[in-house]
Chain A
Amino acid sequence: MSVPVSQMWTVATYVLGQRLRGHTRYPLVLMLEPLFRCNLACAGCGKIQYPGHVLRKHLSVEQCLAAVEECGAPMVSIPGGEPLMYPEIGRLVTELVARRKYVYLCTNAILLKEKLQEGWFTPSKYLSFSVHMDGLKPEHDEAVCRDGVFDQAIEGIKEALRRGFRVTTNTTLFDNASPIRMQMFFDEMMDLGVEGMMLSPGYSYSKAPDQEHFLRRQKTNELFGKMLENPKKRWKFNQSPLFLQFLMGKQDFECTPWGNPTYNLFGWQRPCYLLQEGYAATFKELMETTRWEEYGRKSGNDKCQDCMVHCGHEPTAVNHTFTSWKGFRDTVAATVTGKL
């Protein structure tokens, strides 16, 4: 695991503090989407299909900061849309870092080199560029439906690393993924010098153009089982090892849909980052009026049966680490030995 100690400490004290106060539902990562506009139209993405006048809109920095304060999560992930197309992304990140929030700026990195050269960002332990990389060059360019994007992302990663920024990668896997090719991809990312990698199976958005290649639960277990069966010591993952074990079928976790709440132009999204079943005006309203019992695998909700995505299950894994001896022991063992 490659999460810095200070970040682990922040998360651990936050989780324990919530538990000591008797809170059973609390957010871990705010998914802050300042805009839906993107410079790609990836096959597996259901986030950007909106009329032009909606795509041209974006949240103000003040709206973003109010959401961050209201939510109180120690980490803020900025997906979208493409956040580097948000005209105030530099100011937003500066404000979040000043508030000591751990920021993951999720980008396709097409604009990364340019923005870094223009001085939009300053290195900080609180800021990590989380670059979207869905595999080696052919697989990635196919996933993003445009040739040449892999090379642009690599350029962006190199520039960010050269300037002293934290860089991680985020990879969404579909059922056509090859375990061996993915292992080669892990080697390539480690050779580049990224801090860690994040993996997740894709979710079958009803609005995503590619509906044929989403992973079902058993296939997810098989794919991750093969891919991570004998992980190399040098592969660093910027996520909970228990979540990876869950993907491999070695842990059984339920979804924590409120773990990564989503805020965007429409408000607080119910119930999670992936499903859009309505919007609440405030975080409090989201937490208090969403019928949480209707979501997660045990609920029987069809939309949740095959979902093993990080945004619902990684909060469960993190919670398990810090609230049970078994979870803590398993996490320490995986971290020390590198075995999953």
Chain B
Amino acid sequence: MEEKSLEGWAPDIHDAATLAEAVDRAFDYRGDVTVLLDDGRELIGYLFNRNPDAAEPFVQMFEREGSGASSIPYARIRAIRFTGKDTAAGNSYAAWLRSKEAAKAASSPPGA
């Protein structure tokens, strides 16, 4: 069974536990996310790492328009939205098999 994609999800973050869960989901998500900071800025990019065990827990992102990685403390995050396309969603293997079957059927002579 394929897990439902989180694309479009905007979790309600109201305490440390919900923030930690949203960060974990964002870390696992294979698309860009939008992170709203405490100063009102929005960062859009790929969240590739998080360390909840550090003295000051942080996430790391490659911003969509930036070049290097940036580090953001958990304490500065107000919201995370799963705004980018989930690149792991869908079942390309099944789709490929379907298209192969369709191509085979199309190339077979009628009545074969």
Q: Interface of A with B (CB < 8 Å)?
A: 41, 43, 46, 49-51, 53-54, 57, 142, 145, 206-207, 209-211, 265-267, 278-279
Min CB distance A286 to B, Å, is 12
- Which of these, A51, A207, A210, contacts B85 with CB under 8 Å? A51
Chain A residues, Cβ within 8 Å of B96: 43, 145
Chain A residues, Cβ within 8 Å of B100: 142
Known: A49-B30, A50-B46, A51-B85. 12 other contacts (CB 8 A): A49-B87, A50-B30, A53-B62, A53-B64, A54-B46, A54-B62, A145-B92, A145-B93, A267-B49, A278-B50, A278-B51, A279-B60
Q: List 27 A-B contacts (CB under 8 A).
A: A41-B92, A43-B92, A43-B96, A49-B30, A49-B88, A50-B46, A51-B46, A51-B64, A51-B87, A53-B32, A53-B46, A53-B64, A54-B46, A57-B62, A145-B96, A207-B30, A207-B88, A209-B90, A210-B91, A210-B94, A211-B2, A265-B62, A266-B49, A267-B49, A278-B50, A279-B48, A279-B49
CB neighbors of A among B93-107 (8 A): 93-94, 96, 100
Give the residue name and chain of the B residue nearest to A267 (CB).
B49
Docked CA distance A53–B68 (Å) = 11
Docked CA distance A50–B27 (Å) = 12
Is B84 engaged at the interface, CB distance under 8 Å to the other chain? yes
Q: Interface of B with A (CB < 8 Å)?
A: 2-3, 27, 30-32, 45-46, 48-51, 60, 62, 64, 84-85, 87-88, 90-94, 96, 100
Docked CA distance A209–B62 (Å) = 24
A43-B92, A43-B96, A211-B2 known; A50-B49 Cβ under 8 A: no
Chain B residues, Cβ within 8 Å of A207: 30, 88
Chain A residues, Cβ within 8 Å of B94: 209-210
Which of A41, A43, A46, A51 is the most central at the interface, judged by chain B CB atoms within 10 Å of its CB?
A51
Which of B51, B85, B90 is the most central at the interface, judged by chain A CB atoms within 10 Å of its CB?
B51
Docked CA distance A279–B46 (Å) = 14
Min CB distance B40 to A, Å, is 24
Chain A residues, Cβ within 8 Å of B88: 46, 49, 207, 209
Chain B residues, Cβ within 8 Å of A54: 46, 48, 62
- Is the Cβ of B46 less than 8 Å from the Cβ of A209? no
- Is the Cβ of A50 less than 8 Å from the Cβ of B92? no
Chain A residues, Cβ within 8 Å of B45: 53
